[in-house]
Amino acid sequence: MKIITYNVNGLRAAINKGFTEWLAQENPDVLCIQETKLQPDQFPAEHFTKLGYYAYLFSAQKKGYSGVAIFAKQKPDHVEIGMGIEKYDQEGRFLRVDYGDISIVSVYHPSGSSGDERQRFKMEWLDDFRKYVLELQKSHPNLILCGDYNICHESIDIHDPVRNAKNSGFLPEEREWMTGFLNMGFIDSFRYKNPGKQQYTWWSYRFNARSNNKGWRIDYCMVNESMKSRISDAYIVNDAEHSDHCPAVLEINNK
């Protein structure tokens, strides 16, 4: 099974940049999208129907903001929209599909870069997300948590760790949260398969950051410990340029 996560920074904008042609070539079994930035009635379904995908969307209440989606070649056994926590669900941040004993999530963690209030919201989210996932794991033992986490974990994951040490996304408390999350039995599949590789999934639109490869690795395909032995490959597709992010890929083996 090939699973891709991709923050498209506006699905319709990405489509105008050749996103669906790229998708046809990559042909993942499951595609997890973040920042759809559209309402259900704005979704251009025909682009995905013709490629053989079932589409599941969870949009934010605020128009043109946030939103997650999952596109799947095979119809899931179950689709769970949201976390049941209103302040997060109104921002369209969590969507899950189940296939047998495997659950795949598209998640969009908040950014704290706009100021102190959103940084506090982000830290609350991180605490609640961890609790939610640990509880979910009791009934859904094989989890794949794909999305934009808006956190670089280690110095290898960011182009300038010294000058970014006080910036949201690389703050000590965010990195500490990530360490704790991984220590609870979750695995960063890219780092597991590529322990020494420095590669990024997001670049600022400013200062020619992408052409100079001054990036951050903030998009992850996380799995829990029970899925570790089924990781076949994990990699980043840097040449996909439909967004300020690029895709991260996880390939898993069937039992």
Residues annotated as part of the active site: 148
Which helix (H) or strand (E) element contains residue 74?
none
Task: DSSP letter for 194, please.
Answer: -
Nearest to 31 by CA among 95, 109, 106, 107: 106
What is the DSSP pairing of strand 142-148 with strand 102-108?
parallel
- C-beta of residue 244 within 8 angstroms of C-beta of residue 35: no
Q: Give the residues across from 102 on adjacent strands.
A: 99, 142
- C-beta of residue 150 within 8 angstroms of C-beta of residue 122: yes
Tokens of 26: 């990559």
